[in-house]
């Protein structure tokens, strides 16, 4: 950790029921969360209203996706305007599951980010390489290409948090080592310095995601350029998520 306020997001993905989410919310409400950490959770769309109405205001709410432009005749989509209306502050964009399972492309993701930012949502902008890309020595190339798509589109970096999530580490239990994550984070920061500005490089938080849990978070949080976490599986357990939130200390 070293840049800005430590940021921890919980990505609940397509998990939960009214009942399990009510339990998770009550665990989060009673958890002891360190004051100096930004904490955000991303429930499935269907449960955002339930969470908004029951979760402590201490924790902000993110969507897991948003439509690329103004709402209207787009069956099955959810607009940025609707997310704002229901109380969301953030949206996760470019998550690897949307890139690689659903097929979203860089340019489309960049447009989504631009639209969300222009309409007042913060963006958790995800990037990260596949295992075969890492093994082929292409980690930086892939991350830079994904970053460039965001950089080419966004009106400002003020409300952007970058999440580096190596795809081989997501949901696999194979966490990147602190050194592996730090190496990419510092290189991403250097890319921002060269391609955006030194101000954006020095103030944009770069968080790590990929099998973060209550046991590995503290070592990762010690790295200079790891400014928080995006947590999948472990964010479904209130006490463990609280441990990760508090890992910066
Ligand atoms: C994620 O999908 O953002 C993620 C980091 O998942 P997990 O923590 O389960 O690897």
**DSSP character string of 91-122:** EEES-HHHHHTS---HHHHHHHHHHHHHTT-E
Q: State residue 249's pLDDT score.
A: 78
Is there a catalytic annotation at residue 165? yes
Structure tokens at 25: 């919310």
- Whole-number Å distance between alpha carbons of 40 and 240: 15
Q: Residue 108 contacts by C-beta under 8 Å, 6 or more apart in sequence?
A: 68
pTM of the model: 0.98
| Complex ipTM tops 0.95 | yes
CB contact at 8 A, 59 and 28: yes
CB contact at 8 A, 112 and 66: yes
CB contact at 8 A, 89 and 119: no
CB contact at 8 A, 222 and 249: no
Q: Output the CA 209–ligand 1 centroid distance in Å.
A: 6
Closest Cα to atom 2 of ligand 1: 232
CB contact at 8 A, 96 and 165: yes
Is there a catalytic annotation at residue 100? no
Handedness of CA 151, 199, 183, 228 (dihedral sign): negative
Q: Output the CA 57–ligand 1 centroid distance in Å.
A: 24
- Whole-number Å distance between alpha carbons of 79 and 68: 8
3-state SS, residue 126: strand
Looking at 104, 129, 133, 165, which residue is catalytic?
165
CB contact at 8 A, 64 and 89: no
What confidence tens digit (pLDDT) does each residue in 70-98 have? 999 999 999 999 999 999 999 999 999 99
Q: Which residues of the chain have pLDDT under 70?
A: none
> Residue 151: which of 185, 119, 187, 125 has the closest Cα?
125
Residue to mutate, 63, 212, 226, ligand 1, most ligand atoms under 8 Å from C-beta:
212
- Whole-number Å distance between alpha carbons of 225 and 1: 6
């Amino acid at each position: 950790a070293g840049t800005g306020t430590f940021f921890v997001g919980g990505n609940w993905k397509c998990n939960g029921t009214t009942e399990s989410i009510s339990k998770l919310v009550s665990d989060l409400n009673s958890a002891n969360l360190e004051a100096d950490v930004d904490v955000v959770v991303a429930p499935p769309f269907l449960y955002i209203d339930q969470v908004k109405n029951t979760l402590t205001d201490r924790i902000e709410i993110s969507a897991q996706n948003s439509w690329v432009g103004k709402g209207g005749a787009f069956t099955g989509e959810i607009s940025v305007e609707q997310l704002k209306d229901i109380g969301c502050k953030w949206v996760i964009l470019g998550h690897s599951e949307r890139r690689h399972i659903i097929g979203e492309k860089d340019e489309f993701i960049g447009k989504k980010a631009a639209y969300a930012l222009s309409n007042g949502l913060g963006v958790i902008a995800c990037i990260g390489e596949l295992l075969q890309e890492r093994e082929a020595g292409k980690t930086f190339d892939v991350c830079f290409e994904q970053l460039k798509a965001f950089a080419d589109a966004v009106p400002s970096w003020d409300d952007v948090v970058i999440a580096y999530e190596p795809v081989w580490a997501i949901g696999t239990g194979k966490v990147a080592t602190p050194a592996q994550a730090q190496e990419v984070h510092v290189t991403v920061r250097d890319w921002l310095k060269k391609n955006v500005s030194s101000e954006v490089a020095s103030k944009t938080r770069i968080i790590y995601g990929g099998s973060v849990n209550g046991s590995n978070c503290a070592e990762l949080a010690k790295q200079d350029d790891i400014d928080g976490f995006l947590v999948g599986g472990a964010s479904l357990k209130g006490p463990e998520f609280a441990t990760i939130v508090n890992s910066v200390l």
